[in-house]
Structure 1
Protein backbone atom coordinates (compact mmCIF):
# COMPACT_ATOMS: atom_id res chain seq x y z
CA UNK A 1 0.00 0.00 0.00
CA UNK A 2 1.79 3.12 -1.15
CA UNK A 3 1.56 6.50 0.55
CA UNK A 4 1.20 10.04 -0.73
CA UNK A 5 2.63 12.41 1.86
CA UNK A 6 0.45 15.53 1.76
CA UNK A 7 2.57 17.55 4.17
CA UNK A 8 6.29 17.64 3.43
CA UNK A 9 8.46 20.60 4.36
CA UNK A 10 11.79 20.99 2.59
CA UNK A 11 14.37 23.42 3.93
CA UNK A 12 17.14 24.93 1.81
CA UNK A 13 18.85 27.56 3.99
CA UNK A 14 21.31 28.33 1.21
CA UNK A 15 18.40 29.60 -0.93
CA UNK A 16 15.70 30.83 1.46
CA UNK A 17 15.33 32.60 4.80
CA UNK A 18 13.26 30.89 7.50
CA UNK A 19 12.95 33.34 10.41
CA UNK A 20 10.93 30.97 12.60
CA UNK A 21 13.47 28.15 12.37
CA UNK A 22 16.01 30.35 14.11
CA UNK A 23 14.05 29.62 17.31
CA UNK A 24 13.96 25.84 16.74
CA UNK A 25 17.58 24.58 16.80
CA UNK A 26 16.75 20.91 16.00
CA UNK A 27 15.29 22.00 12.64
CA UNK A 28 18.15 24.21 11.59
CA UNK A 29 20.23 23.15 8.61
CA UNK A 30 19.23 21.65 5.29
CA UNK A 31 16.34 19.21 4.88
CA UNK A 32 16.51 18.33 1.20
CA UNK A 33 14.28 16.39 -1.14
CA UNK A 34 17.01 13.85 -1.85
CA UNK A 35 17.57 13.15 1.84
CA UNK A 36 13.83 12.85 2.49
CA UNK A 37 13.04 10.46 -0.36
CA UNK A 38 16.08 8.33 0.45
CA UNK A 39 14.29 7.59 3.72
CA UNK A 40 10.70 7.82 2.53
CA UNK A 41 10.65 5.56 -0.52
CA UNK A 42 11.69 2.42 1.42
CA UNK A 43 8.78 3.19 3.77
CA UNK A 44 6.30 3.11 0.88
CA UNK A 45 6.00 6.87 0.33
CA UNK A 46 5.87 7.22 -3.44
CA UNK A 47 5.14 10.95 -3.76
CA UNK A 48 4.66 14.07 -1.70
CA UNK A 49 3.09 17.51 -1.73
CA UNK A 50 5.43 20.24 -0.66
CA UNK A 51 3.91 22.34 2.09
CA UNK A 52 5.18 25.91 2.32
CA UNK A 53 7.67 26.50 5.13
CA UNK A 54 6.80 30.11 5.99
CA UNK A 55 9.82 31.55 4.25
CA UNK A 56 10.52 35.27 4.31
CA UNK A 57 7.54 36.91 2.65
CA UNK A 58 9.49 38.26 -0.34
CA UNK A 59 10.50 34.69 -1.22
CA UNK A 60 7.05 33.06 -1.25
CA UNK A 61 6.67 32.76 -5.02
CA UNK A 62 10.31 31.77 -5.45
CA UNK A 63 9.94 28.98 -2.90
CA UNK A 64 6.91 27.52 -4.67
CA UNK A 65 8.60 27.57 -8.07
CA UNK A 66 11.77 25.98 -6.75
CA UNK A 67 9.97 23.21 -4.87
CA UNK A 68 7.79 22.37 -7.88
CA UNK A 69 10.88 21.14 -9.72
CA UNK A 70 13.17 20.08 -6.91
CA UNK A 71 12.50 16.33 -7.23
CA UNK A 72 10.47 14.10 -9.58
CA UNK A 73 8.48 12.69 -6.66
CA UNK A 74 7.10 16.10 -5.69
CA UNK A 75 3.54 15.82 -7.00
CA UNK A 76 2.50 19.38 -6.27
CA UNK A 77 3.01 22.39 -4.03
CA UNK A 78 0.98 24.28 -1.45
CA UNK A 79 2.10 27.90 -1.53
CA UNK A 80 2.20 30.44 1.27
CA UNK A 81 -0.09 33.45 0.96
CA UNK A 82 -1.35 36.57 2.70
CA UNK A 83 -5.14 36.60 2.26
CA UNK A 84 -5.43 39.51 4.67
CA UNK A 85 -3.92 41.78 2.02
CA UNK A 86 -5.86 43.72 -0.59
CA UNK A 87 -3.40 42.55 -3.27
CA UNK A 88 -4.27 38.86 -2.80
CA UNK A 89 -5.37 38.48 -6.43
CA UNK A 90 -1.98 39.77 -7.54
CA UNK A 91 -0.29 37.27 -5.22
CA UNK A 92 -2.15 34.48 -6.99
CA UNK A 93 -1.47 35.91 -10.42
CA UNK A 94 2.27 35.62 -9.73
CA UNK A 95 1.74 31.86 -9.39
CA UNK A 96 -0.90 31.44 -12.10
CA UNK A 97 1.49 29.76 -14.53
CA UNK A 98 2.74 27.25 -11.96
CA UNK A 99 1.16 23.97 -13.05
CA UNK A 100 2.20 22.24 -9.83
CA UNK A 101 0.21 24.63 -7.61
CA UNK A 102 -2.52 22.75 -5.76
CA UNK A 103 -3.46 25.04 -2.91
CA UNK A 104 -2.54 27.77 -0.46
CA UNK A 105 -1.82 28.02 3.24
CA UNK A 106 -1.61 30.84 5.74
CA UNK A 107 -0.32 29.69 9.15
CA UNK A 108 -2.91 31.18 11.49
CA UNK A 109 -1.43 30.29 14.86
CA UNK A 110 1.38 32.83 14.35
CA UNK A 111 -0.91 35.81 13.74
CA UNK A 112 -3.63 37.48 15.85
CA UNK A 113 -6.97 35.67 15.77
CA UNK A 114 -8.72 38.60 14.14
CA UNK A 115 -6.63 38.25 10.96
CA UNK A 116 -8.79 35.42 9.62
CA UNK A 117 -11.99 37.16 10.68
CA UNK A 118 -11.67 40.18 8.41
CA UNK A 119 -13.95 40.55 5.42
CA UNK A 120 -10.91 40.83 3.15
CA UNK A 121 -9.44 37.56 4.37
CA UNK A 122 -12.69 35.66 4.04
CA UNK A 123 -13.51 37.05 0.62
CA UNK A 124 -10.05 36.13 -0.63
CA UNK A 125 -10.33 32.57 0.65
CA UNK A 126 -13.76 32.30 -0.96
CA UNK A 127 -12.20 33.40 -4.26
CA UNK A 128 -9.92 30.35 -4.29
CA UNK A 129 -12.81 28.16 -5.37
CA UNK A 130 -13.01 29.84 -8.78
CA UNK A 131 -9.31 29.14 -9.31
CA UNK A 132 -9.65 25.48 -8.31
CA UNK A 133 -7.32 25.89 -5.33
CA UNK A 134 -7.72 24.50 -1.82
CA UNK A 135 -6.77 26.11 1.48
CA UNK A 136 -4.98 24.29 4.29
CA UNK A 137 -6.24 25.30 7.74
CA UNK A 138 -3.32 25.53 10.15
CA UNK A 139 -4.83 26.39 13.54
CA UNK A 140 -4.39 25.40 17.17
CA UNK A 141 -7.14 23.53 18.97
CA UNK A 142 -8.32 26.72 20.69
CA UNK A 143 -8.66 28.36 17.28
CA UNK A 144 -10.94 25.71 15.78
CA UNK A 145 -13.96 28.04 16.09
CA UNK A 146 -12.10 30.44 13.79
CA UNK A 147 -11.74 27.61 11.26
CA UNK A 148 -15.45 26.89 11.50
CA UNK A 149 -16.28 30.54 10.83
CA UNK A 150 -13.92 30.61 7.85
CA UNK A 151 -15.39 27.43 6.40
CA UNK A 152 -18.85 28.97 6.67
CA UNK A 153 -17.68 32.17 4.99
CA UNK A 154 -16.17 30.29 2.03
CA UNK A 155 -18.38 27.20 1.58
CA UNK A 156 -17.27 26.53 -1.99
CA UNK A 157 -13.55 26.46 -1.17
CA UNK A 158 -12.09 23.08 -0.27
CA UNK A 159 -10.26 23.31 3.06
CA UNK A 160 -8.00 20.77 4.75
CA UNK A 161 -7.53 20.80 8.52
CA UNK A 162 -3.83 20.27 9.23
CA UNK A 163 -2.47 18.15 12.07
CA UNK A 164 -5.86 17.00 13.40
CA UNK A 165 -6.42 20.57 14.55
CA UNK A 166 -3.34 20.51 16.80
CA UNK A 167 -4.81 18.96 19.96
CA UNK A 168 -3.00 19.70 23.23
CA UNK A 169 -2.90 15.96 24.04
CA UNK A 170 -4.06 16.80 27.56
CA UNK A 171 -7.01 14.65 28.74
CA UNK A 172 -8.84 17.63 30.18
CA UNK A 173 -8.86 19.30 26.74
CA UNK A 174 -10.05 16.30 24.73
CA UNK A 175 -13.80 16.94 24.89
CA UNK A 176 -13.54 20.54 23.73
CA UNK A 177 -11.21 19.55 20.87
CA UNK A 178 -13.47 16.66 19.90
CA UNK A 179 -16.58 18.81 19.88
CA UNK A 180 -14.99 21.51 17.76
CA UNK A 181 -13.59 18.97 15.27
CA UNK A 182 -17.01 17.35 14.97
CA UNK A 183 -18.59 20.76 14.37
CA UNK A 184 -16.00 21.65 11.72
CA UNK A 185 -16.43 18.28 9.99
CA UNK A 186 -20.13 19.00 9.49
CA UNK A 187 -19.00 21.50 6.85
CA UNK A 188 -18.80 19.42 3.71
CA UNK A 189 -16.08 21.60 2.19
CA UNK A 190 -13.63 20.68 4.98
CA UNK A 191 -11.33 17.65 4.90
CA UNK A 192 -9.13 16.34 7.69
CA UNK A 193 -5.41 15.67 7.68
CA UNK A 194 -3.76 13.19 10.04
CA UNK A 195 -0.29 14.67 10.01
CA UNK A 196 2.64 15.18 12.32
CA UNK A 197 0.82 14.43 15.57
CA UNK A 198 3.52 12.01 16.68
CA UNK A 199 5.52 15.13 17.60
CA UNK A 200 2.94 16.13 20.20
CA UNK A 201 3.37 15.35 23.87
CA UNK A 202 1.34 13.10 26.10
CA UNK A 203 1.93 9.96 28.09
CA UNK A 204 2.32 6.42 26.80
CA UNK A 205 3.47 4.84 23.54
CA UNK A 206 2.62 6.82 20.39
CA UNK A 207 -0.06 4.42 19.21
CA UNK A 208 -1.76 4.49 22.59
CA UNK A 209 -1.84 8.25 23.00
CA UNK A 210 -2.75 8.98 19.37
CA UNK A 211 -5.48 6.39 18.86
CA UNK A 212 -8.36 8.40 20.44
CA UNK A 213 -7.53 11.39 18.25
CA UNK A 214 -7.15 9.45 15.02
CA UNK A 215 -10.32 7.44 15.67
CA UNK A 216 -12.25 10.64 16.34
CA UNK A 217 -11.01 12.15 13.08
CA UNK A 218 -12.21 9.06 11.23
CA UNK A 219 -15.57 9.16 13.02
CA UNK A 220 -16.08 12.81 12.11
CA UNK A 221 -14.72 13.00 8.57
CA UNK A 222 -15.19 9.42 7.39
CA UNK A 223 -12.67 7.55 5.30
CA UNK A 224 -13.35 9.61 2.16
CA UNK A 225 -12.43 13.00 3.65
CA UNK A 226 -9.10 12.24 5.30
CA UNK A 227 -5.52 12.42 4.07
CA UNK A 228 -2.18 11.53 5.67
CA UNK A 229 0.90 13.70 6.03
CA UNK A 230 4.29 13.35 7.63
CA UNK A 231 4.94 16.99 8.59
CA UNK A 232 8.59 16.11 8.07
CA UNK A 233 10.95 17.39 9.42
CA UNK A 234 8.77 18.91 12.16
CA UNK A 235 7.62 15.40 13.09
CA UNK A 236 11.21 14.58 14.01
CA UNK A 237 10.81 16.76 17.10
CA UNK A 238 8.87 13.79 18.46
CA UNK A 239 10.08 10.78 16.50
CA UNK A 240 11.82 9.83 13.25
CA UNK A 241 9.83 9.54 10.04
CA UNK A 242 10.17 5.76 10.24
CA UNK A 243 8.41 5.70 13.61
CA UNK A 244 5.54 7.89 12.40
CA UNK A 245 4.92 5.64 9.40
CA UNK A 246 5.13 2.51 11.57
CA UNK A 247 2.74 4.04 14.12
CA UNK A 248 0.31 4.91 11.32
CA UNK A 249 0.28 1.32 10.11
CA UNK A 250 -0.36 0.04 13.63
CA UNK A 251 -3.25 2.47 14.01
CA UNK A 252 -4.72 1.13 10.76
CA UNK A 253 -4.55 -2.56 11.72
CA UNK A 254 -7.97 -4.13 11.28
CA UNK A 255 -9.12 -1.54 8.73
CA UNK A 256 -10.14 -2.66 5.27
CA UNK A 257 -7.83 -2.34 2.28
CA UNK A 258 -10.17 0.25 0.80
CA UNK A 259 -10.11 2.35 3.98
CA UNK A 260 -6.32 2.25 4.21
CA UNK A 261 -5.95 3.13 0.53
CA UNK A 262 -8.35 6.04 0.93
CA UNK A 263 -6.37 7.56 3.78
CA UNK A 264 -2.88 6.87 2.48
CA UNK A 265 -3.23 7.90 -1.15
CA UNK A 266 -6.59 7.85 -2.92
CA UNK A 267 -8.12 10.82 -1.12
CA UNK A 268 -4.97 12.86 -1.63
CA UNK A 269 -5.08 12.17 -5.34
CA UNK A 270 -8.69 13.37 -5.50
CA UNK A 271 -8.69 16.28 -3.04
CA UNK A 272 -5.42 17.77 -4.26
CA UNK A 273 -6.12 16.82 -7.90
CA UNK A 274 -2.96 14.78 -8.34
CA UNK A 275 -4.27 12.10 -10.67
CA UNK A 276 -2.99 8.55 -10.48
CA UNK A 277 0.36 8.06 -8.80
CA UNK A 278 2.19 4.80 -9.19
CA UNK A 279 3.88 3.17 -6.23
Structure 2
Protein backbone atom coordinates (compact mmCIF):
# COMPACT_ATOMS: atom_id res chain seq x y z
CA UNK A 1 0.00 0.00 0.00
CA UNK A 2 1.37 3.40 -1.04
CA UNK A 3 0.22 6.26 1.14
CA UNK A 4 0.61 10.01 0.84
CA UNK A 5 0.64 10.80 4.56
CA UNK A 6 0.06 14.54 4.28
CA UNK A 7 -2.10 16.44 1.82
CA UNK A 8 -4.82 19.11 1.84
CA UNK A 9 -8.06 20.08 0.14
CA UNK A 10 -9.77 23.42 0.59
CA UNK A 11 -12.64 25.52 -0.71
CA UNK A 12 -11.79 29.22 -0.48
CA UNK A 13 -15.40 30.36 -0.17
CA UNK A 14 -15.61 28.59 3.19
CA UNK A 15 -13.76 31.62 4.54
CA UNK A 16 -11.58 30.27 7.35
CA UNK A 17 -8.18 30.04 5.63
CA UNK A 18 -6.85 33.35 6.98
CA UNK A 19 -3.21 32.40 6.39
CA UNK A 20 -3.78 32.54 2.62
CA UNK A 21 -4.00 36.33 2.83
CA UNK A 22 -0.48 36.65 4.26
CA UNK A 23 1.34 37.39 1.00
CA UNK A 24 1.35 37.51 -2.79
CA UNK A 25 3.65 34.46 -2.86
CA UNK A 26 0.63 32.31 -1.97
CA UNK A 27 -1.27 33.26 -5.12
CA UNK A 28 -0.56 29.91 -6.89
CA UNK A 29 -2.48 28.00 -4.21
CA UNK A 30 -5.17 30.57 -3.44
CA UNK A 31 -7.86 28.61 -5.24
CA UNK A 32 -10.00 25.57 -4.59
CA UNK A 33 -8.37 22.14 -4.45
CA UNK A 34 -10.65 19.10 -4.44
CA UNK A 35 -10.22 15.32 -4.75
CA UNK A 36 -10.63 15.48 -8.52
CA UNK A 37 -7.55 17.75 -8.72
CA UNK A 38 -5.44 15.10 -6.98
CA UNK A 39 -6.36 12.23 -9.28
CA UNK A 40 -3.49 12.77 -11.74
CA UNK A 41 -0.90 12.32 -8.99
CA UNK A 42 -2.73 9.47 -7.34
CA UNK A 43 -2.77 7.50 -10.55
CA UNK A 44 0.72 8.50 -11.70
CA UNK A 45 2.37 7.43 -8.45
CA UNK A 46 -0.09 4.64 -7.60
CA UNK A 47 -1.16 6.27 -4.33
CA UNK A 48 -3.64 3.92 -2.69
CA UNK A 49 -4.60 6.08 0.29
CA UNK A 50 -4.00 9.58 1.62
CA UNK A 51 -4.16 11.36 4.96
CA UNK A 52 -6.09 14.62 4.70
CA UNK A 53 -4.78 17.26 7.12
CA UNK A 54 -6.43 20.43 8.43
CA UNK A 55 -5.57 23.79 6.92
CA UNK A 56 -7.91 26.02 8.94
CA UNK A 57 -8.31 26.49 12.71
CA UNK A 58 -11.99 25.61 12.80
CA UNK A 59 -14.25 22.74 13.72
CA UNK A 60 -16.24 23.51 10.58
CA UNK A 61 -13.27 22.64 8.38
CA UNK A 62 -12.87 19.31 10.15
CA UNK A 63 -16.51 18.55 9.39
CA UNK A 64 -15.90 19.57 5.77
CA UNK A 65 -12.92 17.21 5.50
CA UNK A 66 -14.82 14.31 7.04
CA UNK A 67 -17.51 14.90 4.43
CA UNK A 68 -14.89 14.66 1.69
CA UNK A 69 -13.56 11.48 3.27
CA UNK A 70 -17.03 9.96 3.37
CA UNK A 71 -17.37 10.60 -0.37
CA UNK A 72 -13.79 9.59 -1.34
CA UNK A 73 -12.72 6.01 -0.66
CA UNK A 74 -9.00 6.71 -0.97
CA UNK A 75 -8.99 9.36 1.78
CA UNK A 76 -8.10 6.98 4.60
CA UNK A 77 -7.84 9.35 7.55
CA UNK A 78 -8.53 12.96 8.52
CA UNK A 79 -6.39 15.03 10.89
CA UNK A 80 -8.64 17.83 12.13
CA UNK A 81 -8.66 20.67 14.62
CA UNK A 82 -10.22 21.61 17.93
CA UNK A 83 -9.65 24.67 20.11
CA UNK A 84 -7.07 23.67 22.72
CA UNK A 85 -7.90 26.85 24.64
CA UNK A 86 -11.52 25.77 25.10
CA UNK A 87 -11.98 22.71 27.35
CA UNK A 88 -15.56 22.41 26.11
CA UNK A 89 -14.06 21.17 22.83
CA UNK A 90 -13.46 17.81 24.45
CA UNK A 91 -17.03 17.14 23.35
CA UNK A 92 -15.99 17.92 19.77
CA UNK A 93 -13.11 15.46 20.07
CA UNK A 94 -15.42 12.79 21.43
CA UNK A 95 -17.85 13.42 18.58
CA UNK A 96 -15.16 13.29 15.90
CA UNK A 97 -13.57 10.18 17.45
CA UNK A 98 -16.72 8.23 16.60
CA UNK A 99 -16.07 8.77 12.88
CA UNK A 100 -14.09 5.82 11.45
CA UNK A 101 -11.89 8.08 9.31
CA UNK A 102 -11.04 10.60 12.03
CA UNK A 103 -7.50 10.10 13.32
CA UNK A 104 -6.64 13.09 15.49
CA UNK A 105 -5.86 16.78 15.58
CA UNK A 106 -3.29 19.37 14.67
CA UNK A 107 -3.18 22.77 16.39
CA UNK A 108 -1.46 25.36 14.19
CA UNK A 109 1.39 25.92 16.64
CA UNK A 110 3.74 27.34 14.00
CA UNK A 111 1.56 30.47 13.91
CA UNK A 112 1.41 31.02 17.69
CA UNK A 113 3.78 33.66 19.06
CA UNK A 114 4.26 32.03 22.47
CA UNK A 115 6.98 29.42 21.96
CA UNK A 116 5.80 27.54 25.06
CA UNK A 117 2.10 27.65 24.22
CA UNK A 118 1.85 23.86 24.03
CA UNK A 119 3.05 23.64 27.66
CA UNK A 120 0.49 26.05 29.13
CA UNK A 121 -1.64 24.59 31.90
CA UNK A 122 -4.90 25.61 30.25
CA UNK A 123 -4.29 23.44 27.15
CA UNK A 124 -3.20 20.23 28.90
CA UNK A 125 -6.76 18.88 28.91
CA UNK A 126 -6.42 18.39 25.15
CA UNK A 127 -3.43 16.05 25.39
CA UNK A 128 -5.14 14.10 28.16
CA UNK A 129 -8.19 13.72 25.91
CA UNK A 130 -6.09 12.69 22.91
CA UNK A 131 -4.48 9.96 24.99
CA UNK A 132 -7.76 8.84 26.58
CA UNK A 133 -9.50 8.64 23.20
CA UNK A 134 -6.45 7.00 21.56
CA UNK A 135 -6.20 9.71 18.90
CA UNK A 136 -3.16 11.09 17.08
CA UNK A 137 -1.36 14.41 17.44
CA UNK A 138 0.34 16.05 14.46
CA UNK A 139 3.04 18.38 15.78
CA UNK A 140 3.25 21.43 13.53
CA UNK A 141 6.01 23.84 14.44
CA UNK A 142 9.31 25.41 13.45
CA UNK A 143 12.81 24.96 14.90
CA UNK A 144 12.23 27.43 17.75
CA UNK A 145 9.67 24.96 19.11
CA UNK A 146 12.07 22.01 19.33
CA UNK A 147 12.83 22.38 23.03
CA UNK A 148 9.18 22.84 23.99
CA UNK A 149 8.11 19.88 21.91
CA UNK A 150 10.76 17.72 23.57
CA UNK A 151 9.29 18.62 26.95
CA UNK A 152 5.75 17.95 25.71
CA UNK A 153 6.66 14.55 24.28
CA UNK A 154 8.43 13.64 27.54
CA UNK A 155 5.30 14.64 29.46
CA UNK A 156 3.00 12.43 27.36
CA UNK A 157 5.02 9.33 26.40
CA UNK A 158 1.88 7.37 25.43
CA UNK A 159 0.52 10.01 23.07
CA UNK A 160 0.65 8.95 19.41
CA UNK A 161 2.69 11.80 17.89
CA UNK A 162 4.07 12.55 14.44
CA UNK A 163 6.18 15.62 13.67
CA UNK A 164 5.00 17.40 10.53
CA UNK A 165 7.44 18.54 7.84
CA UNK A 166 10.56 17.55 9.80
CA UNK A 167 9.73 20.58 11.98
CA UNK A 168 10.55 22.89 9.07
CA UNK A 169 14.34 23.29 9.19
CA UNK A 170 15.58 26.62 7.81
CA UNK A 171 17.16 25.07 4.73
CA UNK A 172 17.23 28.33 2.80
CA UNK A 173 19.54 29.73 5.51
CA UNK A 174 21.69 26.58 5.86
CA UNK A 175 20.66 26.23 9.52
CA UNK A 176 21.40 22.54 9.97
CA UNK A 177 23.36 21.84 13.16
CA UNK A 178 21.05 23.01 15.95
CA UNK A 179 17.98 21.57 14.24
CA UNK A 180 19.77 18.27 13.60
CA UNK A 181 20.95 17.92 17.20
CA UNK A 182 17.48 18.59 18.64
CA UNK A 183 15.72 16.27 16.17
CA UNK A 184 18.18 13.48 16.95
CA UNK A 185 17.49 13.93 20.66
CA UNK A 186 13.72 13.67 20.11
CA UNK A 187 14.21 10.57 17.99
CA UNK A 188 16.44 8.92 20.59
CA UNK A 189 14.43 9.80 23.70
CA UNK A 190 10.82 9.47 22.54
CA UNK A 191 8.66 7.10 20.43
CA UNK A 192 7.58 10.00 18.18
CA UNK A 193 7.26 9.55 14.40
CA UNK A 194 8.29 12.07 11.72
CA UNK A 195 6.90 13.05 8.32
CA UNK A 196 9.35 13.34 5.46
CA UNK A 197 7.47 16.28 4.00
CA UNK A 198 7.68 20.03 3.60
CA UNK A 199 11.43 20.21 3.01
CA UNK A 200 11.21 21.72 -0.47
CA UNK A 201 9.05 24.56 0.85
CA UNK A 202 11.75 25.46 3.39
CA UNK A 203 14.49 25.66 0.74
CA UNK A 204 15.24 28.35 -1.82
CA UNK A 205 13.28 28.22 -5.06
CA UNK A 206 16.24 26.77 -6.97
CA UNK A 207 16.63 23.78 -4.61
CA UNK A 208 18.01 20.55 -5.96
CA UNK A 209 18.47 17.03 -4.62
CA UNK A 210 21.79 17.91 -2.98
CA UNK A 211 20.10 20.73 -1.07
CA UNK A 212 17.45 18.54 0.58
CA UNK A 213 19.36 15.28 0.97
CA UNK A 214 21.31 16.09 4.19
CA UNK A 215 18.08 17.03 5.99
CA UNK A 216 16.13 14.03 4.70
CA UNK A 217 19.00 11.65 5.44
CA UNK A 218 19.29 12.99 8.98
CA UNK A 219 15.60 12.40 9.68
CA UNK A 220 15.69 8.88 8.24
CA UNK A 221 18.91 7.98 10.06
CA UNK A 222 17.69 9.43 13.36
CA UNK A 223 14.14 8.07 13.45
CA UNK A 224 14.64 5.00 11.29
CA UNK A 225 12.41 4.01 8.41
CA UNK A 226 9.94 2.43 10.84
CA UNK A 227 9.12 5.90 12.21
CA UNK A 228 9.34 7.98 9.00
CA UNK A 229 6.47 8.48 6.54
CA UNK A 230 6.45 10.36 3.26
CA UNK A 231 3.95 13.13 2.59
CA UNK A 232 3.57 15.48 -0.36
CA UNK A 233 2.12 18.49 1.47
CA UNK A 234 0.18 19.04 -1.75
CA UNK A 235 -0.96 21.60 -2.84
CA UNK A 236 1.38 23.70 -0.67
CA UNK A 237 4.28 21.95 -2.44
CA UNK A 238 3.19 23.77 -5.62
CA UNK A 239 5.01 26.78 -4.15
CA UNK A 240 8.30 24.86 -4.26
CA UNK A 241 8.48 22.85 -7.46
CA UNK A 242 5.31 20.77 -7.26
CA UNK A 243 4.36 17.17 -6.55
CA UNK A 244 6.52 15.65 -9.27
CA UNK A 245 9.72 17.37 -8.15
CA UNK A 246 9.30 16.54 -4.47
CA UNK A 247 8.22 12.95 -5.09
CA UNK A 248 11.20 12.48 -7.41
CA UNK A 249 13.61 13.88 -4.85
CA UNK A 250 12.25 11.72 -2.06
CA UNK A 251 12.30 8.63 -4.26
CA UNK A 252 15.97 9.30 -5.05
CA UNK A 253 16.88 9.85 -1.39
CA UNK A 254 15.08 6.91 0.22
CA UNK A 255 17.00 3.65 -0.02
CA UNK A 256 15.23 0.80 -1.83
CA UNK A 257 15.14 -1.27 1.36
CA UNK A 258 13.23 1.54 3.15
CA UNK A 259 10.71 2.46 0.45
CA UNK A 260 7.89 0.16 1.51
CA UNK A 261 7.97 1.61 5.01
CA UNK A 262 8.49 5.28 4.21
CA UNK A 263 6.10 5.41 1.25
CA UNK A 264 3.35 3.44 2.94
CA UNK A 265 4.00 1.05 5.79
CA UNK A 266 4.82 3.58 8.47
CA UNK A 267 1.76 5.73 7.77
CA UNK A 268 -0.42 2.61 7.64
CA UNK A 269 0.79 1.64 11.09
CA UNK A 270 0.71 5.07 12.72
CA UNK A 271 -2.68 6.17 11.36
CA UNK A 272 -4.11 2.63 11.58
CA UNK A 273 -5.16 2.52 7.96
CA UNK A 274 -6.99 -0.63 6.97
Q: TM-score, normalised by structure 1?
A: 0.90
Q: Deviations over 1:158-216 (max 9, x none)?
A: 11011011000156521100011011112333101101211222486421111100110
Measured at CA, do residues 220 and 123 of structure 1 come closer, stay the same or move farther in structure 2, by a change above 3 Å? farther
1:119 maps to what in 2?
121
Question: Is contact 1:196-1:232 (8 Å) kept?
Answer: no
Aligned equivalents of 2:118 and 2:178: distance in 1? 21
Once residues 16 and 41 of structure 1 are traced to their aligned partners in structure 2, the CA distance between those partners, rounded to angstroms, is 30
Once the two structures are TM-superposed, the CA of residue 59 in structure 1 deviates from its matched residue by 1.5
C-alpha distance in 2, partners of 1:152/1:82?
A: 22
Q: Which residue of 2 aligns with 1:138?
A: 140
Q: Tell me what 1:158 maps to.
A: 160
Report if the CA contact (8 A) 1:126-1:155 is conserved. Answer: no
> Which residue of the partner structure matches residue 106 of structure 1?
107
- Which whole-Å CA distance do the structure 2 matches of 1:205 and 1:22 have between them? 25
Secondary structure at the aligned position of 1:30 is classed as coil
How many residues align structurally?
A: 270
Aligned to 1:262: 261
Mapping of residues 213-252 of structure 1, within 5 Å: 213-252=215-254
Q: How big is the shift at 1:230?
A: 0.5
Counterpart Cα distance in 2 of 1:241 and 1:92: 32
Q: Matches of 2:271 and 2:74 in 1, distance apart?
A: 15
Report the CA distance between 1:58 and its aligned residue: 5.1
Asked if structure 1 preserves the Cα contact closer than 8 Å seen for 2:205 and 2:240, the reply is no
Stretches of structure 2 that go unaligned for 5 or more consecutive residues are none
Q: Is the 8 A contact 1:129 1:157 kept in 2?
A: yes
Per the alignment, residue 38 of structure 1 pairs with 40
Q: Does 1:52 align with 2:54?
A: yes
Pick the structure with more helix per residue: 2
Counterpart contact for 1:5–1:47, Cα < 8 Å: yes
In structure 2, the CA distance between the partners of 1:187 and 1:67, relative to structure 1 (3 Å rule), is farther
Deviates more, 1:204-213 or 1:218-227: 204-213
Task: Report the Cα distance in structure 2 between the residues aligned to 1:29 and 1:171, rounded to whole angstroms.
Answer: 29
Shift of 1:99: 1.1
4+ residue runs over 4 A deviation? none
1:128-207 alignment runs, 5 A limit: 128-170=130-172, 173-202=175-204, 205-207=207-209
The residue number in structure 2 matching 1:96 is: 97
Give the 3 Å change call, closer, same or farther, for CA 84–171 of structure 1 in structure 2.
Answer: same
